[in-house]
A and B are shown apart, each in its own frame.
Chain A
């Protein structure tokens, strides 16, 4: 007779084991590969190599630039959209929101193909304006991810606070700047998290638009296809550290409800 008794908490064992094997273990392997060379000896060469090579450092700054500009453009377009939708009295708000979010469910490579065809008609050769086209492509791809969290936060906004502000003599602009905007910061932060990191690493957008891959993610791709796993791991590790710092910094401010907005309206 075994003394095994079924407990509800034991249900998480399969998932826990799965996470340890396929989420934790890969990270450990990455760290190991990043600090060893081909013979398995400890080395810092991959690290110093990254920071001394003009190619990798240049790519890091260029992708940072792409990510910052994309995030700003998305924010400037998404905030008004979310604000108008959340604060207005349109009768079918949720339907209009759906219309803005729906592109999320169409395969992004097909959407970028469509964008490419249109841009080619307008501009001709897309590689003449690489930075501009990258920003257009990334914004087109990620805009819905920015709209959703900001909308969720604005929708929860307590109307009586706005009334109080206007009762106390604040005009519309002041009310917006001093009440609405500060209260929507959690949504904005969640949106930034959703857009910034992907636009720093998603090299497929560039690759599809004009066959360039001058972005952080593609360095991993290049090292991967040339079987240089040690340098590739170092790039992955550096990206991982950027992501970690970014997450720690934003976690404090992000809106929990709007957090994982990939699910979005599906909930």
Chain B
């Protein structure tokens, strides 16, 4: 009994420590206070600033656009790579598989620095063209797409593809209508992962971005150096919104996940 109590208290305490900073910031984002600790009146000014200041709006829109765009490219590249490697010999498996591990284990600073030296130093790419930024994010994301698609390919029932060919489908049709549906969950989670990686990234962005462009990460880091209170407290509002969105996504994922499990369970019972 005491054992259970101690573990529950410990877990509770850790959760409180993890979320306390975010919560306090969320509470203060609804006040007109510029510092934590001072008690002030209720105000929505931070949220108004966040959505009306063009600089902030452009920064948020740019971050989202970059995340979704680079994740889409990374998902296509990574999925094609995983499918191709799955059907290729040991050589392809070894080359692509081990190169794929490099950005996964490498420190982000090193990835960012080396890519920047290659693109800007050796190839003379213009940073302001967004090309280096886009390539950087795809390099960061596609290995993780690859890693989330590969297990689904291994679980796949291979005879279905053969059956499709026997029934007269061309290889590309069979890939699209037989293989793709089976690996789709891996592709979707790979895409979601790619988006979160892009949103969270600081190093690759700061080394490859055009000087006038900022994502949330680089903007926040610059803002902590500056002394503009208006921006600082508007970022509290942003943090609160992101927190709420993440919570909603997790709840949504859990609900749909449970429903799918139930469906799968019902299907199995029927088969029996």
Q: Which residues of A contact B (CB under 8 A)?
A: 6-16, 18-20, 22-27, 29-30, 33, 77, 80-81, 84-85, 88, 94-96, 98-100, 102-111, 113-118, 120-121, 140, 143, 193, 197-198, 200-204, 207-208, 211, 217, 220-221, 224, 229, 232-233, 236, 239-240, 243, 247, 260, 262-263, 266-267
Chain A to chain B contacts (Cβ below 8 Å), 12 pairs: A8-B88, A15-B77, A15-B81, A16-B84, A19-B100, A109-B220, A117-B24, A117-B28, A118-B24, A118-B36, A193-B105, A247-B101
The verdict on B113 contacting chain A, using a C-beta distance below 8 Å, is yes
Q: Are A84 and B250 in contact (CB under 8 A)?
A: no
Task: Give the complex CA separation of A88 and B5 in angstroms.
Answer: 12
B224 touches A116 (CB 8 A): yes
Query: A77 to B217, alpha carbons, bound, how many Å?
Result: 27
Query: Which B residues from 95 to 109 make CB contacts under 8 A with A?
Result: 95-96, 99-109
Partner of A115, one of B21, B108, B192: B21
B11 touches A243 (CB 8 A): no
Q: Assess whether A103 is in contact with B18, with CB atoms less than 8 Å apart.
A: yes
* Interface presence of B238 (CB below 8 A): yes
Beyond known contacts A220-B110, A266-B148: 12 more, CB 8 A cutoff: A12-B82, A16-B96, A16-B99, A19-B81, A102-B247, A106-B246, A107-B216, A109-B216, A115-B21, A118-B20, A260-B104, A262-B197
- What class of interface size applies to chain B in its complex with A? 35 or more
B260 at interface, CB cutoff 8 A? no
Whether B46 sits at the interface, judged by CB under 8 Å, is no
A26/B115 in contact, CB under 8 A: yes
Contact B148 A98 (CB under 8 A): no
* Complex Cα gap A217–B109 (Å): 6
Given known contacts A9-B89, A12-B81, A107-B242, A25 and B109 CB-to-CB distance under 8 angstroms: no
- Find A113's partner among B101, B235, B254 (CB 8 Å cutoff): B235
| B contact residues around A233 at 8 Å (CB) | 113-114, 117
B11 contacts A84, C-beta separation under 8 Å = yes
B62 within 8 Å of A by Cβ? no
Min CB gap A148→B, angstroms: 13
Interface residues of B (CB under 8 A from A): 4, 7, 10-11, 14-15, 18-22, 24-25, 28, 35-37, 77-78, 80-85, 87-89, 92, 95-96, 99-111, 113-118, 121-122, 135, 138-139, 142, 144, 146-148, 151, 171-172, 175, 186, 189-190, 192-193, 196-197, 199-200, 202-203, 207, 216-217, 220-221, 224-225, 235-236, 238-239, 242-243, 246-247, 249-250, 254
Chain A residues, CB < 8 A from B199? 107
Known: A105-B196, A220-B110, A266-B189. A9 touches B36 (CB 8 A): no
User: Which single residue of chain B is at the shortest CB-CB distance from A118?
Assistant: B21
Nearest chain B residue, comparing its CB with the CB of A115: B21
Q: Check A243 against B217 for contact (C-beta < 8 Å).
A: no
Set A104, A243, A260, A263: member contacting B106, Cβ < 8 A: A243
Query: Which residue from A26, A102, A208 sits with its C-beta under 8 Å from B118?
Result: A26
By Cβ-Cβ distance, the 5 closest A-B pairs, closest first, are A12-B84, A15-B81, A11-B84, A9-B88, A26-B114
Q: Specify which chain A residues have a CB less than 8 angstroms from the CB of B220 in the assembled complex.
A: 107, 109-110, 113
Chief secondary structure at chain A's binding surface: helix
A29 and B92 in contact, given A12-B83, A23-B103, A107-B242 (Cβ under 8 angstroms)? no
Among A10, A15, A106, A217, contact of B22 (Cβ-Cβ < 8 Å) = A106
- Considering the chains assembled together, what is the distance between the CA atoms of A203 and B36 in angstroms? 25
Cross-chain contact of B193 among A10, A111, A262 (Cβ < 8 A): A262
Contact B114 A110 (CB under 8 A): no
Is B142's CB under 8 angstroms from A80's CB? no
By the criterion CB–CB under 8 Å, are B109 and A201 in contact? yes
Query: Shortest beta-carbon distance, A176 to chain B, in Å?
Result: 13
CA distance A243 to B20 in the complex (A): 34
- Whether the pair B83, A109 counts as a contact (CB closer than 8 A) is no
CB atoms of B96 and A197 under 8 A apart: no
Q: Taking the nearest CB of chain B, how far is it from the CB of A26, in angstroms? A: 4
User: In the complex, which of the residues B81, B151, B175 contacts A14, with contact meaning CB atoms closer than 8 Å?
Assistant: B81
Report how far A16 CA is from B224 CA in the complex, Å. Answer: 40
In the complex, are the beta carbons of B239 and A110 less than 8 A apart?
yes
A110 and B102 alpha carbons, distance in the complex (Å): 28
B194 to chain A, nearest CB (A): 10
Measured CA separation A232–B242 after assembly (Å): 35
**Residues of chain A contacted by B99 (CB below 8 angstroms):** 16, 19-20, 23-24
* Given A12-B88, A220-B113: A27 touches B102 (CB 8 Å cut-off): yes
Supposing A16-B96, A26-B117 touch, asked if A108 and B36 sit within 8 A by C-beta, the answer is: no
